[in-house]
């Protein structure tokens, strides 16, 4: 009860059109949850809170874009296996069927003492619990010569949308026998197999359209996820097309020159035709603004996803530092359900069960050649810890790979329905 | 009544579960203290190389006796070719009592007896191997612990509300409306068939790595709850 009252006072102090317009009446305000970010983590959390509380909690989702484009399967779009439209998801069901209020704007400020969020519109929302799920931003200066403005020339395509379309168009317009270069990110970054699935999809397109073209993968990491599987697949399907420059050969010492389309690798300058720069990453800006990060990410309680800095503020998905889970859509969705249950428990006294987390990431190497990696996790005092894992094997037959690919289609349909209703 | 007892048992379960898990997950900072007992012979970190003992970078998931250029005891080399791989469990056993695991090992170490101390040391060593966060298929960090369930907790059996919560994890892949696109529908599956199938995954009788993993960590009660919940659903 105490914090409902405090919220009301906070709301009154902020005294804005929003609080006036809200149906809440003195002394009987519904508990309020504000979710910043309508991506995988945020939208899942908003939906689960709204769905399971049957209207007892007021949920506002803050998201500037009217349409969410999933990063998952965006590589398949580049490879020509999915349409761009098939990546698009609207918030209509979340607002229409689940009664979630959508504030279509950016959150700019968080006042954790007053428990308010300030939006770009100037509107101020008060909350009892705040969920921050802004995904990633790129670290300034992560790749010398590259900044967000340069992304118009050297796209990152690591937040799906126009960037993905740009990269695909560039690949398709490459001159015959041209060079595609990817600057891969250092750990940790969203979707560990993502860059390597993308290399596979680019190779698939080039093999069909431009078979003498070359792919240069500049990588600061010694190892990467599903490495043996990707390398086997590249050998099998795209023999001779892909060259990977790891840290032993200067892969960690890279700068780019967007004006001249050059990449400098350990002092050697390469002229390239397309350059996909995926820079080092950090939690989305608003998590830093809210003061819940330590370094690049926001540490959270493994049992609930509440931040270490503030038990009323949760951080989900890529922006969180939780331990062993990779930054993936599957992870963000899994974490969101745990947070939603805890938030409902705190605000309405509903039952709180022990947290369970899991992740599986499918990747496509070539037509119907699907692979997967996954693990399950348990919360511990120290971190969310992996307790078991599995991975596709090298040398699997085509029938199994096809079934794995088909599973990924089912997963996509399942998770997007789970997120957006 | 049932509700009240349920809440009581959940609280009990939560309070049982937390310390049980905590014991297994080590504190790497504390573990660094125990590293002092190792560092006379072993190196770890970017500059590590063979000394009296082999370097311990990347030890998680590595075959025993596999560091190039290091001269192992016959015993350790044989354990490696027999298939001993370093995991949380095998390292834990080895650090507890080296000669009990590898009889002829040259490692002259009397062992670290306290399980928490070992877990902390292993957590420290773990920092220098592939991180599951970056390489999800990397060797797990801890061993799963199924907290011993008190009789009361068995009241959870077949509780569809609990099942509904657990099902939020299934719903990531298996669609709630019963549609079947590459991943089979489990909506309205008869309760008993559901239970049998899940136990078959749990015991790895049914193949499929994702399902073996998911079922492997479900308790009997959780499986019953899921079965009870899915049986109530109707395909749309
Ligand atoms: C190429 C690629 C392939 C991938 N493939 C897979 C895959 O196969 N499987 C898988 O599980 N994962 C995959 N991922 C990873 C997955 O996309 C991310 O891990 C996931 O989207 C993370 O969810 P999130 O909620 O943390 O962030 P996001 O989904 O990025 O959502 C963040 C949202 O917050 C909004 N936002 C940010 N700041 C603000 C603000 N200040 N105010 C309001 N809104 C804000 C953004 O507009 C965005 O909509 C892939 C990623 C990439 C790049």
* Chain A (313-352) residues lying within 8 Å, Cβ to Cβ, of chain B: 323-327, 330, 333-334, 337, 341, 351-352
- How many angstroms does the Cα of residue B70 sit away from the middle of ligand 1? 45
In the predicted model, is pLDDT for residue B107 greater than 60?
A: yes
Residue after which a domain boundary falls, among A351, A370, A401: A351
Q: What is the pLDDT of residue B229?
A: 94
Q: For residue A74, which atom of ligand 1 is closest to its CA?
A: 1
Q: For residue A198, which atom of ligand 1 is closest to its CA?
A: 1
Q: What is the pLDDT of residue A321?
A: 98
Give CA–CA dist B5/A37, Å, rounded.
Answer: 38
Q: What is the pLDDT of residue A46?
A: 98
Which CATH number characterizes residue A35's domain? 3.50.50.60
The token duo for A230 is 């990707």
Same domain, A207 and A112: no
Q: Are A361 and A191 in contact (CB under 8 A)?
A: yes
Q: Within a domain: residue A412? A: no
- How many angstroms does the Cα of residue B24 sit away from the middle of ligand 1? 32
In the predicted model, is pLDDT for residue A167 greater than 70?
A: yes
Q: What percent of chain A has pLDDT over 70?
A: 93
Range B69-73 average pLDDT: 94
Q: Within a domain: residue A120? A: yes
Q: Are A160 and A329 in contact (CB under 8 A)?
A: no
pLDDT digits (tens, 9 = 90+) for B128-165: 999 999 999 999 888 764 433 334 433 456 889 899 99
Q: Within a domain: residue A309? A: yes
Residue A128: closest CA among A1, A25, A298: A1
In this complex, the residue of B134, B145, B173 whose CB is nearest that of residue A187 is B134
Same domain, A264 and A317: no
- Helices first, then strands: H and E counts in chain B: 10, 0
Same domain, A307 and A342: yes
Just give the CATH number of B151-232: 1.10.760.10
Range B219-235 average pLDDT: 89
Which mutation among A36, A42, A132, A335 tests ligand 1's pocket best, with the greatest number of atoms within 8 A of CB? A42
| A391 contacts B172? CB cut-off 8 A | no
* Chain B (56-115) residues lying within 8 Å, Cβ to Cβ, of chain A: none
Residue A290: closest CA among A114, A96, A65: A114
- How many angstroms does the Cα of residue B58 sit away from the middle of ligand 1? 30
Same domain, A94 and A110: yes
Residue A23 confidence class, pLDDT cut points 50, 70, 90: very low
Q: What is the pLDDT of residue A30?
A: 94
Same domain, A173 and A85: no
Q: Within a domain: residue A402? A: no
Q: Chains A, B: CB contacts under 8 A, how many?
A: 179
Residue after which a domain boundary falls, among A279, A310, A329: A279
Q: What is the pLDDT of residue A105?
A: 98
- Report the pocket of ligand 1 as residue ranges, CB < 6 Å: A 36-42, 62-65, 68, 71-72, 74-75, 106-107, 133-135, 158, 190-191, 194, 198, 284, 286, 317-319, 327-330, 332, 361-362
Q: Would B20-143 and B151-232 be classified into the same CATH topology?
A: yes
Q: What is the pLDDT of residue A5?
A: 30
Q: What is the pLDDT of residue A181?
A: 98
Q: What is the pLDDT of residue A15?
A: 36
Q: What is the pLDDT of residue B143?
A: 73
pLDDT digits (tens, 9 = 90+) for A333-347: 999 999 999 999 999
Range A182-199 average pLDDT: 98
Residue extents of the structural domains in chain B:
20-143, 151-232
Q: How far is B131 from chain A (nearest CA, A)?
A: 7
Whether chain B has a CB inside 8 Å of the CB on A354: the answer is yes
Across chain A, mean pLDDT equals: 93
Same domain, A273 and A313: no
Q: Are A155 and A170 in contact (CB under 8 A)?
A: yes
Q: Within a domain: residue A191? A: yes
For residue A378, the chain B residues in CB contact (below 8 A) are 21, 142, 144-145, 217
In the predicted model, is pLDDT for residue A78 greater than 80?
A: yes
Q: For residue A45, give its domain range.
A: 6-135+284-351
Q: What is the pLDDT of residue A151?
A: 98
Range A43-60 average pLDDT: 96
Give me the interface pTM, i.e. the ipTM: 0.75
Same domain, A10 and A128: yes
In this complex, the residue of A382, A388, A407 whose CB is nearest that of residue B183 is A407
Same domain, A173 and A192: yes
- Of residues B22 and B215, which shows the higher confidence score? B215
Residue after which a domain boundary falls, among A293, A316, A351: A351
Q: Within a domain: residue A391? A: no
Helix residue ranges, H only, chain B: 2-24, 28-35, 74-82, 88-96, 98-101, 115-126, 160-170, 191-202, 209-216, 220-232
Same domain, A104 and A40: yes
Q: What is the pLDDT of residue B149?
A: 33
Which one of 3.30.70.20, 1.25.40.10, 1.10.760.10, 3.40.50.300 gives the CATH number of domain B20-143?
Answer: 1.10.760.10
Same domain, A152 and A113: no
Q: What is the pLDDT of residue A28?
A: 55
Q: What is the pLDDT of residue A24?
A: 38
Same domain, A48 and A13: yes
For residue B172, the chain A residues in CB contact (below 8 A) are 330, 333-334, 411, 414-415, 418
Residue B24 confidence class, pLDDT cut points 50, 70, 90: low
Give CA–CA dist A204/A234, Å, rounded.
Answer: 10
Residue B203 confidence class, pLDDT cut points 50, 70, 90: confident
Same domain, A240 and A297: no
| B169 contacts A411? CB cut-off 8 A | no
Q: What are the DSSP calls for A380-405, one per residue?
A: -SS-EEEEEEEE--TT--HHHHHHHH
For residue A407, the chain B residues in CB contact (below 8 A) are 173, 182-183, 210
Give CA–CA dist A324/A304, Å, rounded.
Answer: 15
pLDDT digits (tens, 9 = 90+) for A53-75: 999 999 999 999 999 999 999 99
Peptide bond just before A328 cis, omega within 30 deg: no
Across chain B, mean pLDDT equals: 82
């Amino acid at each position: 009860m105490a914090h409902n009252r405090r919220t009301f006072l906070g709301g009154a102090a902020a005294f804005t059109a929003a609080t006036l317009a809200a149906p809440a009446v003195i002394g009987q305000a519904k508990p309020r949850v504000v979710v910043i970010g309508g991506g995988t983590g945020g939208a899942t959390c908003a939906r689960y809170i709204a769905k399971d509380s049957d209207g007892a909690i007021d949920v506002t989702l803050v998201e500037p874009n009217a349409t969410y484009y999933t990063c998952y399967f965006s590589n398949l779009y580049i490879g020509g296996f999915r349409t761009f439209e098939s990546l698009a998801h609207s918030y209509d069901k979340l607002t229409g069927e689940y009664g979630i209020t959508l504030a279509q704007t950016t959150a700019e400020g968080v006042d954790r003492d007053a428990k308010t969020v300030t939006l770009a519109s100037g509107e101020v929302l008060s909350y009892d619990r705040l969920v921050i799920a802004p995904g990633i931003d790129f670290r300034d200066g992560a790749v010398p010569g590259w900044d967000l403005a340069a992304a118009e020339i050297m796209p990152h395509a690591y937040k799906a949308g126009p960037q993905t379309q740009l990269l695909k168009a560039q690949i398709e317009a490459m001159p015959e026998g041209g060079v595609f270069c990817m600057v891969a990110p250092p750990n940790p970054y969203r979707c560990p197999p993502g860059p390597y699935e993308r290399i596979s999809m680019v190779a698939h397109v080039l093999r069909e359209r431009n078979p003498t073209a070359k792919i240069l993968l500049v990588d600061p990491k010694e190892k990467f996820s599903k490495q043996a599987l990707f390398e086997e697949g590249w050998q099998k399907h795209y023999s001779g097309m892909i060259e990977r420059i790891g840290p032993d050969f200067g892969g960690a010492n890279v700068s780019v020159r967007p004006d001249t389309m050059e990449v400098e690798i350990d002092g050697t300058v390469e002229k390239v035709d397309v350059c996909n720069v995926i820079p080092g990453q950090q939690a989305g800006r608003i998590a830093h603004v809210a003061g819940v990060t330590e370094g690049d990410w926001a540490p959270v309680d493994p049992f609930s996803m509440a931040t270490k800095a503030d038990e009323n503020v949760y951080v989900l998905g890529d922006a969180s530092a939780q331990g062993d889970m990779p930054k993936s859509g599957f992870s963000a969705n899994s974490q969101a359900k745990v947070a939603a249950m805890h938030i409902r428990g705190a605000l309405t006294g509903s039952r709180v069960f022990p947290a369970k987390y899991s992740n599986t990431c499918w990747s496509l190497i070539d037509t119907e050649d699907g692979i997967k990696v996954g693990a399950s996790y348990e919360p511990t005092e120290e971190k969310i810890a992996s307790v078991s894992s599995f991975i596709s094997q090298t040398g699997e037959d085509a029938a199994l790979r096809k079934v794995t690919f088909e599973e990924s289609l089912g997963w996509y349909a399942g998770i997007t329905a789970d997120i957006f209703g | 009544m049932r509700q009240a007892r349920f809440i009581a048992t959940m609280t009990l379960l939560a309070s049982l579960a937390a310390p049980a898990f905590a014991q297994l997950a080590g504190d790497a900072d504390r573990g660094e203290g125990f590293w002092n007992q190792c560092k006379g012979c072993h190196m770890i970190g970017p500059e590590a190389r063979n000394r009296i003992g082999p370097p311990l970078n990347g030890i998680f998931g590595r075959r025993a006796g596999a560091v190039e250029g290091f001269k192992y005891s016959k015993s350790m080399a044989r354990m490696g070719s027999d298939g001993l791989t370093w995991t949380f469990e095998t390292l834990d056993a080895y650090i507890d009592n080296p000669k009990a695991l590898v009889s002829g090992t040259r490692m002259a170490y009397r062992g670290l007896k306290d399980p928490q101390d070992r877990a902390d040391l292993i957590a420290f060593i773990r920092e220098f191997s592939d991180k599951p966060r970056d390489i999800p298929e990397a060797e797990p960090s801890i061993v799963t612990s199924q907290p011993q369930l008190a009789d009361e907790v068995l009241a959870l059996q077949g509780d569809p509300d609990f099942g509904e919560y657990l099902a939020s994890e299934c719903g990531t892949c298996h669609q709630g409306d019963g549609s079947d696109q590459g991943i089979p529908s489990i909506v309205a599956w008869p309760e008993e068939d559901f239970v049998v199938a899940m136990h078959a995954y749990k015991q790895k009788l049914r193949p499929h790595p994702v399902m073996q993993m998911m079922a492997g960590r479900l308790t009997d009660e959780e499986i019953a709850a899921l079965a009870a919940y899915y049986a109530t659903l109707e395909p749309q």
